[in-house]
Amino acid sequence: MLDYIALGILIFAAIVLFYGIIVMHDIPYEIAVHRNHPHQDAIHAAGWVSLFTLHALWPFLWIWAMLYREDRGWGFNHGKPASGPAAELERELAELRQRVEQLEGRTPKAPDEQKEV
């Protein structure tokens, strides 16, 4: 009787371990989904590859999933507004758009409409 109970406990432990490993490999993907990561599918596929490589890639997938946040992107600016050449180009682009809108508002009529015959 005790042999059957021990066998049942052994089978139960093997099943829990098997499914536990499968659930564990999916943690980086769940983080990516929660953070609306742009590479969710790649992280999920790499998680399955990591499952077959004894989770050798898993720490890197965790880091990859944690790097991105929807509110700050990849987080390399540390919350600072953009500065330098990119900010200057954005400012110039805004000025040029404003000038184009002003000029389009003042465009003369087509040449055919200006002629009085």
Token reading at 31: 């983080």
With cut-offs at 50, 70 and 90, classify the pLDDT of residue 78. low
Report the C-alpha gap between 19 and 105 in whole angstroms: 66
61 located within any domain: yes
Owning domain of residue 23: 2-77
With cut-offs at 50, 70 and 90, classify the pLDDT of residue 107. low
Question: In this predicted structure, what is the pLDDT of residue 8?
Answer: 96
> pLDDT for 38-47, tens place per residue?
999 999 999 9
27 located within any domain: yes
84 located within any domain: no
91 located within any domain: no
Question: 3-state DSSP call for residue 19?
Answer: helix
41 located within any domain: yes
**CB atoms near residue 58 (< 10 Å):** 18
80: left (phi over 0), alpha (psi -120 to 50) or beta: beta
Residue 70 has pLDDT above 90, yes or no: no
> pLDDT for 11-24, tens place per residue?
999 999 999 998 99
Say how far residue 38 (Cα) sits from the centre of its chain: 3
pTM of the shown model:
0.59
> pLDDT for 80-105, tens place per residue?
655 677 788 889 999 999 999 999 88
Question: In this predicted structure, what is the pLDDT of residue 117?
Answer: 47
Token reading at 32: 């990516």
Number of domains in the chain: 1
Calculate mean pLDDT across residues 36-58: 92
DSSP state, residue 77: S
DSSP state, residue 73: B
